[in-house]
Amino acid sequence: MAHPRHSAALLLMGLLVLSGCSQDPGPEQLAKAEGHYQELINQNVAPHDPAWTAVVAEFEAIPKDSKSRPEADKRLAALKSAREKLPPRPLARPGATGPGASEVDAKRAACENLAKKMGEAKTDVTRDMLRKVLQRCQADVVQAEANSHPPGENGADLH
């Protein structure tokens, strides 16, 4: 027969072990991953930067049975979408002229595609990432427009 003190101690230890096992680590892991995610967003880190790999791993480490897993899955889907490779640019055709043949036209078309993707994005996270890429694209268009001159406009062709 066990002593009442031993029975109470065993019961107390059992309760402590069980209460520790039922603790869901997901919310804490999600908060940590969200913090790292927000840091990279604030630093304007490109979606293909290796720094995102660690953040993806943090979201994936959240247990499948955690109540935080659905939110982690949303972030993972957004990151995956933002990290997808854009289709390659069409090959240049030597001697091509007309609308769409210049570098500026090609950049405008790329920005237009990004804007469409941003409009089709299903999550705010994806939209935010695409918005940042679109802003860079638009800045590139402005730069390309500033550097492109019709023949004879730059003064070098004048005698």
In whole angstroms, what is the distance from residue 131 CA to residue 2 CA? 69
Return the amino acid letter for 12.
L
Two structure tokens written together for 122: 């299903």
- pLDDT band for 29, please (50, 70, 90 cuts): very high
Residue of 22, 27, 33 whose CA lies nearest to 60 = 33
Two structure tokens written together for 103: 């570098």
- pLDDT band for 73, please (50, 70, 90 cuts): very high
pLDDT, position 96? 53
In whole angstroms, what is the distance from residue 123 CA to residue 19 CA? 36
Question: What are the tens digits of pLDDT across the range 136-147?
Answer: 999 988 888 887
Q: Is the pLDDT of residue 6 over 70?
A: no
pTM to 2 decimal places:
0.44
Question: What are the tens digits of pLDDT across the range 100-114?
Answer: 567 788 888 888 888
Question: Could you tell me if 55 and 37 are in contact, meaning their C-beta atoms sit under 8 angstroms apart?
Answer: yes
In whole angstroms, what is the distance from residue 135 CA to residue 92 CA? 25
